[in-house]
C-alpha cells in the first residue's frame, strides 16, 4: 500500500468531510478526477485496483494518472495540516513562526513581529525549545531591520534555551538507545553502560533548579527513572515512585492534552507494576482509571491503549479468575482479527493457550497454538519467543498424552533451533528437551519405568532449580515440580 493509500485509508469521517470542503473551494465539479480517485481508494481500501481506476480515468496515459496521484497527495496533506494545525502545540507554533517569517520576507515588520511574539509565547507555554530557538534566531535577524529589537537580549535567551535543548537531546539520545535495545532483544538491555550514563544525567538534571521546574523535563526525568527501575526489576520501588509521581503531577495539574499520552503511559506502568507486585485488585482499580482516561479528548489514544487495558484485565484475572480471563481473551481475539501489530496477536493466542492449559483443557491449548503457527507472520517473530512457545507446546502435548508424536516433535524442534540451542544462555532449554525425550521414551515404550522417570526429573530440578529461560513464556520448572 503506497503513501497516498495509507493516508486516505487512515482518514476519519471528519477528515474526509474537511477534505471534500477544502477541495471544493476552487472547483465543485462533480466529475473531478481527483475526487473520483480519492473515493475509489477510500471505498475499496485493500481491494483497491490501481490499474483499473487508472484506465477508467486516463486509459493508457499513465503519466497523467501519476500526476493526478501526486496532486491528490499534496491536496490531502494540505487539508489534514489545515484541519489539525491547532490541535498540537508544536504544529501550531510552527504555523505562527512560518507566518512571522513570511511577513518578515515581505518587509511587513510590524505584522511579522506580532506573529513572532505569539509564536514565542506559545512555544514558551508548551516548553518547545526547538521552536524557541527558531524564534530567537528570527528576532536577532529582525534587529538588522529595525531598532524595535535589541539583539543582545535575544542572544542571551538563545544561549540559555540551547543549553536546555542540549540537555533534552542528551537524555533523548540515551533513552532512544536504551528503548531500541530493549525492544530489539525482547525486554533485555545489553549495554548497561547506557543505563549508568542515564542515571548520571538524571542526577545532574534534578540538581538544577530551573531545569527541575520545567514541566517537559520533569516528564523526561520520569521516563528515564522508570526505564532505570524497570531494567533493575525494582518493582516495589517503581510502585512507590509511580503512585507518588502520578498524584504529584495530578495535583499540580501538569497533565493536559499535549501530554495526555504520558498520563496513559504512567497509568499503564502503574497497572502492570501493581500486577507484578501481586496487588491484583488495586491493579484492576487503576486499570478502570486507565479506561476512563482513554476516553478523554474524544478518545484521542483510545485505539492505541485499548490493548494495554485488555492485557491488564487478562493478567490480573489469570490469577483471580481464569475462566473470566478466557472470556476476555476471546473478546480480544475478535478485536485483533484485522490488527497489524504482530505482538498483540501473539500475546492473545499465547495467553489463550496458557489459560486453557492451566484449566486442563489441553486440546484447546493445542488448537490455539496451531492457529498461531498457521499465521503468516509467526515465522517473522523473535526466534527466542518462538522457541519458548514451542517448548510450551511440548509440555501441552505431554499432558495430552501424545507420546509417539512428541518424540518426532522434539527432534524437529531441536533441528529448527539448532544454532540457538547451542548458545550458552539456552543450555537449560536444551537440557529440558533432552530430559523430555528420555521421559517420553521411558513412559510410552518401557514398562515399570516410574522410578527411573522420577530420578531423571529430580536430576534436572537439581541442576536447574529455577526457570531462567529468556524470554519465559511458560515456567516448565514449576510444572515439573508440581507434576
Q: What is the pLDDT of residue 225?
A: 77
Q: What is the 3-state secondary structure (H, E, C) of 54-95?
A: HHHHHCCCHHHHHHHHHHHHHHHHHHHHHHHCCCCHHHHHHH
Q: 50: how many CB neighbours lie within 10 A of its CB?
A: 16
Instruction: Report yes or no: 223 and 175 within 8 Å, Cβ to Cβ.
Output: yes
Cα separation of the two ends of the chain: 51
Longest pairwise C-alpha distance within the chain: 102
For 236-282, the DSSP string reads: HHHHHHHHHHHHHHHHTT---STTHHHHHHHHHHHHHHHHHTT-HHH
Domains of the chain: which residue ranges? 3-84, 89-149, 150-214, 234-319, 321-381, 382-483
d(CA 50, CA 264): 40
d(CA 318, CA 321): 6
d(CA 149, CA 130): 21
Q: What is the pLDDT of residue 381?
A: 84
Q: What angle do CA 67, 69, 71 make, to 5 degrees?
A: 70
**Residue 471 DSSP symbol:** S
Q: Give Cβ neighbours of residue 109 (< 8 Å, ≥ 6 apart).
A: 103, 142, 145, 146, 148
Q: What is the pLDDT of residue 341?
A: 53
Q: What is the pLDDT of residue 209?
A: 46
Distance of CA 95 to the CA centre of its chain: 29
Q: What is the pLDDT of residue 430?
A: 93
pTM for this model (two decimals): 0.63
Residue range 137-187, pLDDT digits in tens: 999 988 887 788 889 999 999 998 998 888 778 777 776 776 666 555 544
Which stretches in the chain have pLDDT values below 50? Answer: 186-187, 209
**Residue 189 DSSP symbol:** -
The DSSP H or E segment spanning 161 is helix 151-184
Grid cell listed for 255: 497533565
Q: What is the pLDDT of residue 109?
A: 87
In terms of DSSP H, where are the helices of 339-399? 342-358, 362-374, 383-399
**Residue 186 DSSP symbol:** T
Phi-psi region of 169 (alpha: psi -120 to 50; beta: other; left: phi over 0): alpha
Q: What is the pLDDT of residue 312?
A: 95
Q: What angle do CA 97, 101, 103 make, to 5 degrees?
A: 115
Amino acid at each position: 500500500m503506497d503513501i497516498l493509500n495509507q493516508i486516505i485509508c487512515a482518514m476519519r469521517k471528519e477528515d474526509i468531510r474537511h477534505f471534500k470542503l477544502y477541495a471544493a473551494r476552487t472547483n465543485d465539479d462533480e466529475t473531478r478526477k481527483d475526487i473520483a480517485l480519492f473515493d475509489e481508494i477510500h471505498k475499496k481500501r485493500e481491494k483497491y485496483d490501481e490499474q483499473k481506476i487508472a484506465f477508467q480515468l486516463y486509459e493508457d496515459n499513465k503519466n497523467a494518472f501519476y500526476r493526478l496521484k501526486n496532486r491528490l497527495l499534496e491536496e490531502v496533506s494540505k487539508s489534514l495540516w489545515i484541519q489539525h494545525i491547532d490541535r498540537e502545540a508544536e504544529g501550531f507554533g510552527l504555523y505562527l513562526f512560518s507566518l512571522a517569517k513570511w511577513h518578515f520576507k515581505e518587509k511587513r515588520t510590524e505584522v511579522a513581529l506580532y506573529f513572532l511574539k505569539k509564536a514565542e509565547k506559545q512555544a514558551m507555554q508548551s516548553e518547545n525549545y526547538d521552536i524557541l530557538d527558531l524564534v530567537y534566531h528570527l528576532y536577532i535577524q529582525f534587529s538588522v531591520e529595525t531598532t524595535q529589537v535589541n539583539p543582545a537580549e535575544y542572544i542571551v535567551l538563545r544561549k540559555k534555551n540551547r543549553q536546555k535543548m542540549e540537555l533534552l537531546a542528551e537524555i533523548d539520545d540515551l533513552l532512544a538507545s536504551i528503548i531500541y535495545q530493549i525492544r530489539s532483544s525482547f525486554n533485555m538491555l545489553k549495554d548497561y553502560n547506557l543505563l549508568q550514563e542515564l542515571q548520571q544525567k538524571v542526577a545532574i538534571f534534578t540538581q538544577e533548579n530551573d531545569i527541575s521546574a520545567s514541566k517537559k523535563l520533569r516528564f523526561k526525568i520520569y521516563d528515564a527513572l522508570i526505564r532505570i527501575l524497570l531494567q533493575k526489576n525494582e518493582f516495589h520501588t517503581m510502585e512507590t515512585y509511580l503512585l507518588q509521581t502520578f498524584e504529584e503531577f495530578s495535583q499540580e495539574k501538569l497533565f493536559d492534552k499535549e501530554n495526555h499520552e504520558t498520563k496513559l503511559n504512567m497509568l499503564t506502568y502503574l497497572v502492570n507494576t501493581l500486577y507484578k507486585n501481586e496487588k491484583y485488585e488495586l491493579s484492576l482499580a487503576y486499570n478502570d482509571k486507565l479506561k476512563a482516561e482513554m476516553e478523554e479528548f474524544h478518545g484521542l489514544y483510545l485505539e492505541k491503549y485499548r490493548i494495554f487495558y485488555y492485557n491488564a484485565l487478562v493478567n490480573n484475572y489469570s490469577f483471580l479468575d481464569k475462566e473470566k480471563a478466557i472470556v476476555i481473551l476471546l473478546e480480544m481475539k475478535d478485536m485483533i482479527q484485522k490488527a497489524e501489530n504482530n505482538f498483540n496477536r501473539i500475546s492473545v493466542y499465547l495467553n489463550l493457550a496458557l489459560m486453557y492449559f492451566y484449566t486442563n483443557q489441553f486440546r484447546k491449548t493445542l488448537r490455539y497454538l496451531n492457529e498461531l503457527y498457521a499465521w503468516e507472520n509467526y515465522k517473522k517473530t523473535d526466534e527466542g519467543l518462538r522457541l519458548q512457545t514451542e517448548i510450551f507446546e511440548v509440555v501441552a502435548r505431554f499432558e495430552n498424552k501424545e507420546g509417539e508424536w512428541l518424540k518426532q516433535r522434539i527432534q524437529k524442534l531441536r533441528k529448527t533451533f539448532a544454532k540457538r540451542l547451542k548458545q550458552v544462555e539456552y543450555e537449560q532449554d536444551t537440557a529440558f528437551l533432552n530430559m523430555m525425550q528420555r521421559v517420553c521414551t521411558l513412559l510410552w515404550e518401557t514398562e515399570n519405568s516410574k522410578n527411573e522417570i522420577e530420578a531423571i526429573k529430580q536430576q534436572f530440578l537439581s541442576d536447574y532449580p529455577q526457570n531462567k529461560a529468556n524470554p519465559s513464556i511458560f515456567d516448565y520448572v514449576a510444572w515439573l515440580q508440581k507434576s
